Amino acid sequence: MEISDWRKKIDEVDEQIVRLINQRAEAARAIGQLKQKSSLPVYEPQREKAVFEHVRSVNPGPLSSTEVVDIFERIIDVMRALQRTHD
């Protein structure tokens, strides 16, 4: 494959990632609404720890577990902000 072929492949994967992140955001927003109604905190360190353990356990590579967790830390930061700012 040529560079242009690989770039097309990356564009296609990026489109899938955007769709999936938005699906995750919908779920996070719904959870945020439930937390608000139940007066639960947005930040749940034990849940985040469980998410990190889960993504490490399903990571086939080539990213290292540390790299995958780094990415998910940022995703969770954004989702937490979404829970705080949207109802």
If 0-12 CB within 10 Å is exposed, 13-18 middle and 19+ buried, where does residue 82 land? middle
- Cα 36 to Cα 30, 40, 53, 73, 86: the distances in Å are 10, 6, 26, 22, 11
* pLDDT, tens digit, 9 for 90 and up, residues 23-66: 999 999 999 999 999 999 999 999 999 999 999 999 999 999 99
- Per-residue pLDDT band at 87 (split at 50, 70, 90): low
- Cα 12 to Cα 16, 17, 51, 60, 62: the distances in Å are 7, 9, 26, 20, 19
* pLDDT, tens digit, 9 for 90 and up, residues 4-25: 999 999 999 999 999 999 999 9
More confident of the two residues 41 and 86: 41
Go through the domains of the chain in sequence order and give each one's CATH number: 3-85 (1.20.59.10)
- Per-residue pLDDT band at 85 (split at 50, 70, 90): confident
Q: How many CA atoms lie within 13 A of 11 on its CB side?
A: 6
